Amino acid sequence: MKRVLITGAAGFLGSHLCERFLREGMYVIGMDNLITGDMRNIEHLMPNPNFEFYHHDVTKFVHVPGELDYIMHFASPASPIDYLKIPIQTLKVGAMGTHNLLGLARVKKARFIIASTSEVYGDPLVHPQTEDYWGHVNPIGPRGCYDEAKRYQEAITMAYHRYHNLETRIVRIFNTYGPRMRLNDGRVLPAFIGQALRGEDITIFGDGSQTRAFCYVDDLVEGIYRLLMSDYSLPVNIGNPAEITIKEFAEEIISLTGTDQKVVYKPLPQDDPKQRQPDITKAKEILGWEPKVKREEGLRITYDYFRSLPQERLYEESNHRGFEGFSQGK
């Protein structure tokens, strides 16, 4: 039985990855320090004899007994509400956490994949974004802690690949959504749905002309799985190229939820990207991958999930319980 370590396992994306690799017949070791993750995301996996969980911070030395075939480093905050509150720890999990796990991969002779992000492109001057675009990032701006952590993460991963001949993969993840997102994590989709469910005004930052491209989580997980199993070591964009303006997206959410909230506008945060759309030519050619779930279908599933939550979950704040490390919320 193949064994895989997934960091950030109790986060939104990490929990879906745990499920997928269990379905693939692997033994899954989840690791998370529960700073932004939530045990409720993986409690249904705990009785599975092929799943175990380590409550651990990857910025500290990481030891996992036994063999490992794959290491998936998905531990990181992934929303502005997290990394703007805890910027130093965001940098540490991208730098020290990645270094620790690359060392573990080298000892275990495991294939290693990191969750990079479309944020490595910053506020892009190229549209749509291709993997050979180097980005337009402000390293000292408030978002720089996340953008530069991910850029460093890519750099050290490629250094280990070239110097130590380690098998590595890099996935650049674009906006992803689906069940188990945190309603109050500051990202646009859960923010809009949360405001609709609470009967609040829909808040748009800027004039709403900025664009995003939303990928349903099942599609993303399929792309990540295919990349891990491929022999391609350079970065690959995984996302849905169906671009939409934030204003249009707000109108879709109001239509979906059947609410009639007012839309209010607030100033655009510093360095917020104006356009975001992946070029997925590489994913199509190398992995035979492209998204299958239409936004209308994915939004309906996600809305039904949020609507099923207990009332008190609609008002939960972010769940920072210490400043030692992170779990995945991308």
Residues serving a catalytic function are: 146
Are 278 and 237 in contact, with CB atoms under 8 Å apart? Answer: yes
* 3-class DSSP assignment, residue 305: helix
CB contact set of 53 (below 8 Å; sequence gap of 6+): 9, 10, 29, 30, 31, 32, 42, 46
- Cα–Cα distance, 285 to 283 (Å, whole number): 6
Q: How far apart are CA 190 and CA 197, in angstroms?
A: 10
Give the three-class secondary structure for 150: helix
196/199 Cα distance (integer angstroms): 5
Please tell me what DSSP assigns to residue 171: E
DSSP string computed for 193-244: HHHHHHTPPEEEESSS--EEE-EEHHHHHHHHHHHHHSS--S-EEES---EE
